[in-house]
Chains A and B, each alone.
Chain A
Amino acid sequence: MKAVGARLPRYDGLGHVVGETTFVDDVRVPDGNLWARALRSPSHAARIVRLDTRKAAELPGVHGIVTHEDIPRNVYGHLEALGVPADEPLLAEDEVRYKGQPIAVVAADSEEEAQAAVEAIELELEERDTLFDIRKAFDPDAPKIHPWGNWFPYFGGPDEGPDRRKVRKGDIDKAFSDADTIVQGVYRPAAIEHCPTETQVALVVPEASGRLVIYSCTQAMYFSMGVVAAHLEVPLNKLKFVGGTVGGGFGGKVDTAAETLSGLLALKTDRAVKWRWTREEEFLASSTRAPWHMEIADAVTSDGWILGRKMLTLHDAGAYARFSPYGLTKHAFHHAGAYTIPNIHFDGFVVFTNRVPTTAMRGFGVTSVSFAVETHISRIANTLGLDPYEFRLKNANRVGDTTPNGVTLTDPSTVATIHAVAEAAGDTLAPEYAAMTSEPRSGPLLPDHLVTQQRDGRSAHA
């Protein structure tokens, strides 16, 4: 029989159901391991006036403390290879920009002793003004929370503008001038937690050669290995990542969270070190899905065509960039949704605030815009007095249509998925809508304003 297409049981299913699957926290090393805990910023924004670990280091059970001074390369960016400059220190140096930002880590014989040492570290802070509302980030008197200012300035590459992700297509002014109606709306999905049932965890075992074996819950072993190697300034043969089995990630475990600092503690103590984040840390100090602010203005005709879209997006990155410029670009590429819109004007900003940095989460960049676009589309249909199925089917992308960034679609199935759910729900479509396909536009489905969108050569106007 063929395997592809068959409902074969999970490869790892038996291990899961008998409790034998080995997650990172289940790995055991012969001589046991030290436990790590972190000193995290109690403040949303502050200057670090004094940091003194001497008393903490003398406490019973404590084997080592790592601060920014112990890190070969403290500031490294997750997306440096893609031209996004670094902005985030592994451990805070002179500034903290979010509550929960790590400042020091301790390795001790037990979690309790490590925690006692964390609490004995002397930290003196000078509070700074905070910024939380991305809509106020552009105000002249807004606190400047980041060396780059309050929004990411390098969408052209390192040290290159523009300061926003732009998409420009067609003649937006003509679209708005030609429109019968312009529908404007604002959409604000919330930050949410990844909260996998397995919290962030790493176990690092130093080998006699000095090589580190890193048991990791990362979703991306080679990516995380690159991050650790960059901070430690070691070649890849000095690291071995062991992983591949993860208790849920949803994007949050693309951030390299516990591995690097556990590795530094292992090197400093020459002992195996485990850092298992508490659930409180997972909720309060690990990254979240970003909150977004999206404003859409669509130029539409009374008979239900979308002529043009103007859109402003603010992406709440939290205190540091991480993957946010990437996420915003992906968002920009998909801001037309499953529809063909010939005239586009999109501006998107990655805005910094004094909250925990936001990061990738399932549907990164697009979940937000899918919500915004789909709610907006139904609003337009309602405003024009049109059926929400019909308005969607008419504007749905077809073979040969182009996207906002100029990609020609080869196999869209938007029409088929709408037909499928309508049928399953028992909603009957008018015959001309039920007969629609994803074939290249022609006839009444190829009005003048869409002629330039057809690149297929099979279309009537080609």
Chain B
Amino acid sequence: MKLTVNGRAHDLASDPLRPLLHVLRDELDVTGPKAGCQQGSCGTCTILVDGEARRSCLTPLALVDGAEVTTIEGLGDATRLNALQAAFHQYYGAQCGFCTSGMIVAAHALLERNPAPTRHDIQTALAGHICRCTGYVKILDAIEAVARGETFTETNGDRQPGVEESVAKTGVSG
């Protein structure tokens, strides 16, 4: 079976029923997609198959013969962040980071389909993606920032200092 992953062509002799997730992780060492549930219900393994978001844990290899597969690694890297990656970084859309790959890939597919989603559209589209740190506010903020065309200067991988903002200091002592 032939498979292109993040632009690289592969010829695979694996079990055609093997989940794509395991082929990616264990045969091709593409570890961005995570084995969060392997039941299709958490979203951490989400990848793009010919541009469509899919749960790679429930996708048998045979079903993607000849397809173009894109994972989080294919969207950008630390020196050339894709807009969603930059936004997730800038808006603290990642806490533990385990759901982040799938979340960004799914958001990418959404924006390709609907470049100007409302907050509600995003909530509906990503409803099946579990973030157990439940950091949904900042995930939504990040995706909305991209949707409204915000540009991100920070793409060189440095840890740039943010803007210092004062926090409400109420005289609560005593």
Contact = CB atoms under 8 A, between A and B. Distances in A.
B132 interface: yes
Interface of A: 1-3, 5-23, 25-26, 28, 194-199, 246-248, 250, 276, 278-279, 399, 411, 413, 416-417, 420, 437-439
A413 B132 contact: no
Contact of A11 (B29, B159, B160, B163): B159
A247 B96 contact: yes
Nearest to A3: B161
A18 B36 contact: no
B60 interface: no
B85 A17 contact: yes
**Interface residues of B toward A: which range?**
35 or more
Interface of B: 25, 29, 31-39, 41-42, 44, 71-73, 76-78, 81, 85-86, 88-90, 92-101, 104, 130-133, 157, 159-167, 170, 172-174
A195 B98 CA distance: 12
A6 B162 CA distance: 7
Q: Chain B's interface: helix, strand, loop or mixed, by majority?
A: loop
A197 B38 contact: no
Contacts of A198: 34, 36, 96, 98
Given A197-B98, A198-B98, A199-B36, 18 more contacts: A5-B166, A6-B161, A7-B163, A7-B165, A10-B94, A13-B92, A14-B157, A16-B88, A16-B89, A19-B101, A22-B31, A25-B35, A247-B34, A248-B95, A248-B133, A250-B132, A411-B173, A416-B172
Q: Give the one of A17, A18, A278, A416 with max B CB within 10 A.
A: A17
B95 to A, nearest CB: 8
Contact of A8 (B44, B98, B104, B161): B161
Point out which of A197, A248, A413, A417 has the most chain B C-beta atoms below 10 A from its C-beta.
A197
B32 to A, nearest CB: 3
Contacts of A247: 34, 96-98
A12 B33 CA distance: 18
A437 B130 CA distance: 41
Most buried by B among A5, A26, A279, A420: A279
In the A-B complex, the 8 residue pairs with the closest CB atoms: A19-B32, A247-B98, A16-B97, A416-B172, A19-B72, A16-B94, A279-B37, A26-B31
B78 to A, nearest CB: 5
Nearest to A195: B132
